[in-house]
Structure 1
Amino acid sequence: MDIPTQIKQHSCMDCLSGQSLGFEIKMAFQPIIDWQQQEIFAYEALVRGAEGQGAGWVFERINDDNKYYFDQSCRVKAIETAARLGCDTLLSINFMPNAIYNPDTCIRATIEAATLYQFDLEKIIFEVIEGEQIVSQNKLKRIFESYARHGFRTAIDDFGAGFASLDWLHSLRPDILKLDMSLIRNIHQEPASQQRLAEIQRACATLGVVILAEGIETVEERDFLVNAGVRYLQGYLFAKPALEQLLTVEQIQGWA
């Protein structure tokens, strides 16, 4: 596919301006907990409007004409903001597979931003954005392989809720698998969810994939997951996403 001239000319500074989107974006950060080490494992960068409007408000303004630039802008804004805030953990960035026409070409602005803001490329996790309709498993596999060559980690988001299945897990072999909140909700009371978790854990253990449970809202959910051997946790029990702020361990609830 030919690369449009205006895309060739984009740099990470262009992405920061947001002018091609017609509106400004900011980033909120939600901590991901390493329960075993009792520390912050990573922060997930989540897009917001200039005044903190939610992701829904932002995505209402995204279409086929601007989704490529939006995807690039989110990556650059996440890296710039995290670096400015002094992020020294892993940084998880959502991406839109259908906005990527060539993985190696589309990663250019990300590498440029990481270099400019002195953010370690090996600290970046790219996860498939929730709700994104995947057209081709092979395309996503090529994207994951390209990102791995550049030193990035990869993650499948919302596993069990949408396109992803154990077949996809074996094909894509991400570094991290994020369990959908529909599986997590009241898991301490749902034998079917518990059985599903055990199946996923067995598959991930075989493939060397790390499991991360997101959407945790209660102590009971947290305790069941911890006792089941899930090490990495994320959800409102610990903290909601904070606009342009990296919450510290002291500011995070849900430890006790």
Structure 2
Amino acid sequence: MTHRGRWHRRLDALCAEPDLLQLVLHPVVDVAAGRVAGYEVLSRFPSAVPVEEWFRAARALGREADLDRVVLTGALARLQALPPGTFLTVNAGPTSLADEDLMALLTAQDLTGVVVELTEHDDCDPRDLVAPLARLRARGALVALDDVGTGHSGLLRMAVVRPEILKIDLQLVRNLHQDPVKRSLVQFLGECAGRLDAWIIAEGVETVAELDVLRGMGVPLVQGFLLSRPHDDFAPLSDEALRLLRAPVHRHLHREEHSSHPAAVAGRRTGDLARRTKTSRTVAGAVQVVAEEAAPVVVVDTEDVPRVIVLPPHRAGDQPRVEAVGITLAPETAVSEAAARAIARDGDVRFDPLVCTDATGRYVGVVGVEDVVLDLAATPPAAHRRRHWRMGA
């Protein structure tokens, strides 16, 4: 049997018996809050062949969508057990999003709390991704770009896709503490994320020194074997990981990098402007309140984590608008940062309130863009600095 024939046979067997596939969950860690922010679903296949070989062979045979469908079916089945206040990241190749069966699988359910991560192996026209990603976002999904800084996840794809999450490739993280150029690139990607109203995850963190530098730079989310390895279930952080996150940051960065750390940000904070709205446990209940009172209502889960914000309609006579809560701001976020993120949003939602959450992801309040503008107008220019992120639900 030929090499191609053997791979067709393996893929046929997996499609016929999806239980042959093992899925594990790799935590994404909120370093400021010291907790798991989300879990990435990773595949383990029924052979000694490396995982990448399976996906490489599927792409070569034009069967990437077949393989992605099997993986996504198993991954989405984990949603019911997802811990409150966390997200679930699933991977999909850009070419797979052109497969209608795969899109039907994804859009058949509520994708709130799901991050669809675009793998970087395929070189495609990013404009081809706009329509399928709009369908996924309409179901509540967030979009992530994988391996930013290498491969095909370049600036053009970032500009067109407008991801909610940028995952910094592990090659940029490796020995970050010894390479000022890498630190500058990570800082640049953080600036890009701010302009896109996105947040960043540094993956492949394996040493205390790498974690120390990332914490000192204000990178909000990290992933790597230092803090947690993949597990079969939704595992919390170990005591050792918590000890590392509680340890003080060693200040061995250059002066210009210190100046961008959240603790160095001057001026007023987003939390100073936040006001707590009415909340609801159901979208239907929130819609009813908004229709009666013409004021925003935030839908929260049992842990008080915001999931949806219901807003008055743009025009009289229309129904209230229901928007998924994706990116949220921490109370300590500089007002200037909040302004930059508001302006980065699409025009139809640019002036919608910003949702503010605390270090555990729980709802604090909303911040009106008008209040942000008025505060900036009354603040001396020297107080306008940038940087702080908060994980979203």
TM-score range, shorter chain: 0.7 to 0.9
Count the aligned residue pairs: 230
Q: Deviations over 1:168-227 (max 9, x none)?
A: 222211000000011111111111111111221212112211011001011111110111
Q: Cα distance, 1:55 vs. partner? A: 1.7
**2:94 paired residue number:** 97
The answer on whether the counterparts of 1:97 and 1:128 sit within 8 Å (CA) in structure 2 is yes
Q: Distance in 1 between matches of 2:49 and 2:75?
A: 16
Q: How far, CA to CA, are the matches of 2:191 and 2:213 in structure 1?
A: 17
Deviations 1:73-112 (A, max 9, x none): 11110121453x5544200000011123256x63221344
Match of 2:26 in 1: 30
Corresponding residue number in structure 1 for 2:72: 75
Please identify the structure whose Cα radius of gyration is greater. Answer: 2
Aligned to 1:129, which of 119, 135, 149?
119
User: Which amino acid is 2:193 matched to?
Assistant: C
Write the mapping of 1:127-206 to structure 2, written as runs, cut at 5 A: 127-130=117-120, 132-206=121-195
What whole-Å deviation, never above 9, does each CA across 1:41-99 have from its counterpart, x for those lacking one? 1000011124797523543663535322211111110121453x554420000001112
State the Cα RMSD in Å.
2.6
With the length of structure 1 as denominator, give the TM-score of the two structures.
Answer: 0.80
- The 8 Å contact of residues 156 and 178 in structure 1, kept in 2 or not, is answered as yes
Identity score, percent: 24
**Cα distance change of structure 1 residues 80 and 23 upon mapping to structure 2, 3 Å threshold:** closer
CA separation in 2, counterparts of 1:185 and 1:208?
Answer: 26
**Residue number in structure 1 paired with 2:237:** 249
Q: Where in structure 2 are the equivalents of 1:13-24 lying within 5 Å?
A: 18-20=14-16, 24=20
Match of 1:215 in 2: 204
Mapped pair 1:107 → 2:103: yes
In 1, Cα distance between equivalents of 2:48 and 2:29: 24
Q: Are residues 251 and 50 of structure 1, via their aligned partners in 2, closer, same or farther at CA, if it must alter by over 3 Å?
A: farther
TM-score, length of structure 2 as denominator length: 0.53
In structure 2, the gaps of 5 or more residues are 1-12, 248-393
